[in-house]
Structure 1
Amino acid sequence: MQFISIGGITLHFDHRPAGRGGRHLVFINSLGTDLRIWNEVAGALGGSISTLVYDKRGHGLSDLGATPYAIEDHVGDLLGLIDHLGIEDVVLCGLSVGGLIALGLADRRPEIVGGLVLCDTAHKIGTADGWNSRIATVQEDGIAAIADTVMKLWFTPRFHAERKAELDGCRNMLTRQSVAGYAATCAAIRDADYTRTAEAIAVPTLCIVGDQDGSTPPALVRSMAKIIPGSQFEVITGAGHIPCIEQPAMLVALITQFLARLPSE
């Protein structure tokens, strides 16, 4: 395990360089998850490119920090980690709220971003009423109160029927997150609108969504892809909101093809 303090926040991360320096593929996880969701994808890609995964504040083994959060707080944490590691060229792969963090980082430090993979995310996610209701529920009753509903958004009916042990494990991962960190990140998503940032993206961008995503449906992700100049839009069949768990091989194939088309470092 690797840990670093960034601005008084201890972050848990896993840095796997493929060589000295060079481009890094940086994975940013979703709300209510930790860096383990990327195990299969990062493992499959790690031989050809350096990888970095981490637990954002309030999640996994990272510190809670002061609440509430803004997406820019998460952006600052990740930038601090990237700078500490001396990384100067990144491709950001953000899932759900991770996509908002990726957009925020690309806006703040465009010179280090060589490409974006925006997975099951959007420039604006959900409504204030929806997020406020979720925050109130978890603060009063805990994350377990919404866990079954979230699992239906994250995974397809087939996953529920055929991969029960994995489903149980993912539910455990969700319910064992910090309530305060979860609620604070909900508030950050509620308050974030990266429409103008998305419209100004000037690097190659791949937008991906599971065909059965209940959190950021294909139509929403497609709407983001339409406003990002020159972006590529792809749908993964047989996946919900977390394709890196449900269909990792398909996600790896799309990312591999995308990386191969990027300009040289």
Structure 2
Amino acid sequence: MPFITANDITLHVRVTGPKDAALTLVFVNSLGTDFRIWDEVLAHLAPKAPGVRFVCYDKRGHGLSDLGSSIAMADHVADLAALLDLLGAERTVVLGLSVGGQIALGLSAARPDLVAGLILSNTAHKIGTPDMWATRIRTIEDEGIEALATPILERWFSAGFREGFPTQLAGYRNMLIRTPVEGYAGTCAAIRDTDFTLAAESVTVPTLCIAGAEDGSTPPALVAEMAALIPGAATETVAKAGHLPGIEFPDEVAHLVALHLDRIKESLE
């Protein structure tokens, strides 16, 4: 089922694994990307996590999903909740990257009945400043995403990746600049308006926080600040990785995710 209507919009979705799985792992992608960023992580993870159902989807305003009538953090959270309800997912682990991590925190606060565990990758309870987001929104609305593509890619990827994999870099640049401006700008505003300090402090499920040592968007110190708010949260830093460690080091990220899934299964037994 590549498309599902949830929360009155069409979402692009990919579901694999058994319907009667004990756990569902849902991947929530970052600003300016679609769910293809998880392909290599999934390839490494599936053999390590038998019996887990995997759900990938494009959040509103990204990929092949609808823009919707508004793009606020509450909309992103409600979309994910509606999708999981439609799939009948009762024990869900949410792996959220960047804004995806904020959506995960929002879901855990709004619908704790759905969330059995969290993996918060390269994210924080509050990201950036209002002035920073206002400048970015104004630039892309006036000049398009391409005007900011180079500095964004410098934050996304380590210097080693940018220099060593120019073809892949060009492909991810295409993914970025082909994101609908309305979807990108709307999600920028959603991040600008979000402070999930209280949501982080209220988390009660097993949580893993992942940082990239060379992340220019949410550096390790910021991830650690968020992790300190979450009771019992574990933290891991992927060496030599930027903002998207699942692209640069999918095998290492898959290993960390598999270990956390095992911890969650143990906590549910």
AA at the equivalent of 2:103 = I
Tell me, yes or no, if the aligned pair for 1:24 and 1:52 is still in contact at 8 Å. yes
Could you tell me how far apart the structure 2 residues matched to 1:7 and 1:219 are?
Answer: 35
AA at the equivalent of 1:236 = V
Name the SS of the counterpart of 2:242 in structure 1: coil
Aligned residue pairs, count: 264
The 10-residue stretch of structure 1 (122-131 or 105-114) with the greater mean CA deviation from structure 2 = 105-114
In structure 1, the partner of 2:34 is 34
> Among 49, 71, 81, which residue is 1:79 paired with?
81
Tell me, yes or no, if the aligned pair for 1:16 and 1:46 is still in contact at 8 Å. no
In structure 2, the partner of 1:194 is 196
Could you tell me how far apart the structure 2 residues matched to 1:193 and 1:260 are?
Answer: 30
Tell me, yes or no, if the aligned pair for 1:21 and 1:87 is still in contact at 8 Å. no
Kindly state the Cα deviation for residue 120 of structure 1 after the two structures are TM-superposed. Answer: 0.0
> Among 252, 258, 261, which residue is 2:260 paired with?
258
AA at the equivalent of 1:107 = A
Identity percentage over the alignment? 52
In structure 2, the partner of 1:131 is 133
> Among 50, 55, 60, which residue is 1:52 paired with?
55
In structure 2, the partner of 1:61 is 64
Could you tell me how far apart the structure 2 residues matched to 1:147 and 1:155 are?
Answer: 12
Kindly state the Cα deviation for residue 264 of structure 1 after the two structures are TM-superposed. Answer: 3.2
1:152 paired to 2:158: no
The normalised TM-score by structure 1 is 0.97
Kindly state the Cα deviation for residue 256 of structure 1 after the two structures are TM-superposed. Answer: 1.0
Kindly state the Cα deviation for residue 19 of structure 1 after the two structures are TM-superposed. Answer: 4.7
Tell me, yes or no, if the aligned pair for 1:18 and 1:46 is still in contact at 8 Å. no
AA at the equivalent of 2:137 = I
Kindly state the Cα deviation for residue 41 of structure 1 after the two structures are TM-superposed. Answer: 1.1
In structure 1, the partner of 2:235 is 233
Kindly state the Cα deviation for residue 21 of structure 1 after the two structures are TM-superposed. Answer: 4.1
In structure 2, the partner of 1:164 is 166
Gaps of 5+ in 2: none
Q: CA RMSD in A?
A: 1.1
Kindly state the Cα deviation for residue 43 of structure 1 after the two structures are TM-superposed. Answer: 2.6
Kindly state the Cα deviation for residue 4 of structure 1 after the two structures are TM-superposed. Answer: 1.1
